Structure 1
């Protein structure tokens, strides 16, 4: 058993903290951009409202109390350009954060000469990395960049919890995890889970947007929903990401069953982790089926996707940390 390289381990920890700080800065910028988008949308709507009141007349024909509340075209263009710069800065910070996050994962792996899946801290580190990589690629389109606060907030919460409550020093894994199937099984499950997180968040935002339709927002939640893309756009995002989640996560379950047969002499034993993972996959598959079935409302299908996300989070924390089973070593080195 090879000794742990403490230099690499410390470098991994430093990169983890650095990535976290970069993500926090990106969250702050994304929130400022979100608020600016709210103001820009209000300004456009006010311009449209006033234009409908006066027909084709210019702003000089408006009463003073109305004209004072309408932004000039140049001012509005300036605000939009300022918001675009914030969005681009957020995207650049996210790319930097992902690269530093990747360095943390790679250094962790090199420090113990194994794949970094030996405990819950490492699992969360890898799942959030895959989720961030998927998000930074998906949210390249300008219309999606307002979604960053909704992605970053739960990811930062996961990273904070993992880094403070679940952290484990780099060390060799227990004998049960020293298998050829270990990195293949866990990596496929991790990738599928990370894409599923993005899909579930998109469905959650879709329901918020359907509750607060464009141009008809009201109250606090209306203000929150105002910058979001259309319901159709969010629904398509959830559906297209779930299309990837189902086969990749399902492949991870199948590979786990093959490994179980080699390690324990049976493909399936209804261990708590196996059972909840299978239920999660069934829910994601059920979402795709409902979403593609005529007669089903997309809002009903979205609830299935959100339930799948909740089940996966339940599996990650409660099953791994509370319930005893054959996968209980996942929280140990």
Structure 2
């Protein structure tokens, strides 16, 4: 089962990669202009005695027919292929997680490698839900699949460890409560940073900035829609993240005799919570510009990355069970 899990995750990475390439093709061809084809006017035979003189009368010209160019049709096809491949990759991704859990005899959240696998799956699954609800946002898939490929490839190359039983410190029902909610919230935050960055680029493009990297945003959906999606995802994830932090404190009280001890992971979780709370507050304050608030959301995700990777690599604390220290 462990070997099967590794193979499934590898195939999932390949599927995300091909989906990313397909999205790139759609992105490159997405600005193709429509072809205007003027319909030929029909000729009508009018009988004698009708009007001033009988004969052939030309009716008013038919309206022009607008049809997509060949490049636009290819772009649409590439986008559909990319969406299908992303769904296939998510299925393979889930199968890799399930087989990993079966091999370990527990939920697959016992180390940093498994945590990254689960967070990225939540992000991909949430993206498919968004895509189903809002197909017009499909071009964001280029950036989402890029994030998937980078994080999963890093996990495979640097974080993968052998399947092991859950260590005694984690053998508690709070493991399911705390880790499941923190994983879910982290996955939604992972998805939320994609439209946040896209909004910042698109807003710059709409304001007339034509230099790199704003040129990447010329084929993205409108800035207003991207900003609303960013807020929706963060507003959904933040209460779950808040509950996860509280559950972690309760678990710490039961396991270590104190609810909070400024352990590096606890500290950075608190920092992330403060930053995301700051984003939601800034977003609800009319005097704060939307791009300023969105930069705070991006900063929040950077603190999440620091908590996930930086703390495990550079610090030692009670949470040093990620399998990389």
What range describes the TM-score normalised by the shorter chain of this pair? 0.7 to 0.9
Q: Say if 1:282 and 1:106 are closer, same or farther in 2 by CA, change over 3 A.
A: same
Give TM-score, length-normalised by structure 2.
0.87
- Indicate the SS of the match to 1:139: helix
Superposition RMSD in Å = 2.0
Alpha-carbon distance in structure 2 between the residues aligned to 1:282 and 1:309: 12
Query: Residue in 2 aligned with 1:208?
Result: 201
Q: CA deviation at 1:257?
A: 0.8
Query: Residue in 2 aligned with 1:64?
Result: none
Query: Residue in 1 aligned with 2:149?
Result: 156
Query: Residue in 2 aligned with 1:126?
Result: 118
Matched, 1:147 2:102: no
Q: Matches of residues 1-333 of structure 1 in structure 2 within 5 Å?
A: 8-37=1-30, 39-40=31-32, 43=33, 76-140=68-132, 141-213=134-206, 216=208, 218-331=210-323
Q: Per-residue CA shift, 1:304-331, capped at 9, x if unaligned?
A: 1011011101111110221011101123
Give TM-score, length-normalised by structure 1.
0.85
Q: Which has the higher contact order (CA 8 A, sep 6+)?
A: 1
Q: CA deviation at 1:137?
A: 1.2
Q: CA deviation at 1:81?
A: 2.8
Alpha-carbon distance in structure 1 between the residues aligned to 2:140 and 2:70: 22
Q: Per-residue CA shift, 1:92-133, capped at 9, x if unaligned?
A: 111111111001000000101111111111111111010110
Q: CA deviation at 1:73?
A: 6.6
Q: How many pairs does the alignment contain?
A: 298
Query: Residue in 2 aligned with 1:4?
Result: none
Q: Say if 1:112 and 1:222 are closer, same or farther in 2 by CA, change over 3 A.
A: closer
Q: CA deviation at 1:222?
A: 4.2
- Indicate the SS of the match to 2:288: coil
Per mean C-alpha deviation after superposition, the further-off stretch among 78-87 and 227-236 is: 78-87
Q: CA deviation at 1:332?
A: 5.8
Alpha-carbon distance in structure 1 between the residues aligned to 2:148 and 2:204: 25
Alpha-carbon distance in structure 1 between the residues aligned to 2:29 and 2:209: 17
Q: CA deviation at 1:77?
A: 4.1
Q: Per-residue CA shift, 1:210-266, capped at 9, x if unaligned?
A: 11117x462443431111111101100100000111011111111111111110011
Q: CA deviation at 1:82?
A: 2.5
Contact 1:127–1:190, Cα closer than 8 Å, also in 2: yes
Q: CA deviation at 1:268?
A: 1.1
Alpha-carbon distance in structure 2 between the residues aligned to 1:212 and 1:319: 36
Alpha-carbon distance in structure 2 between the residues aligned to 1:269 and 1:178: 20
Alpha-carbon distance in structure 1 between the residues aligned to 2:213 and 2:130: 25
Contact 2:159–2:324, Cα closer than 8 Å, also in 1: no
Q: CA deviation at 1:205?
A: 1.2
- Indicate the SS of the match to 2:180: helix
Q: Say if 1:13 and 1:247 are closer, same or farther in 2 by CA, change over 3 A.
A: same
Q: Which runs of 5+ in 1 are unaligned?
A: 1-7, 48-57, 59-71
- Indicate the SS of the match to 1:17: helix
Contact 1:287–1:304, Cα closer than 8 Å, also in 2: yes
Q: CA deviation at 1:75?
A: 6.4
Larger radius of gyration, structure 1 or 2?
Answer: 2
More helix per residue = 1
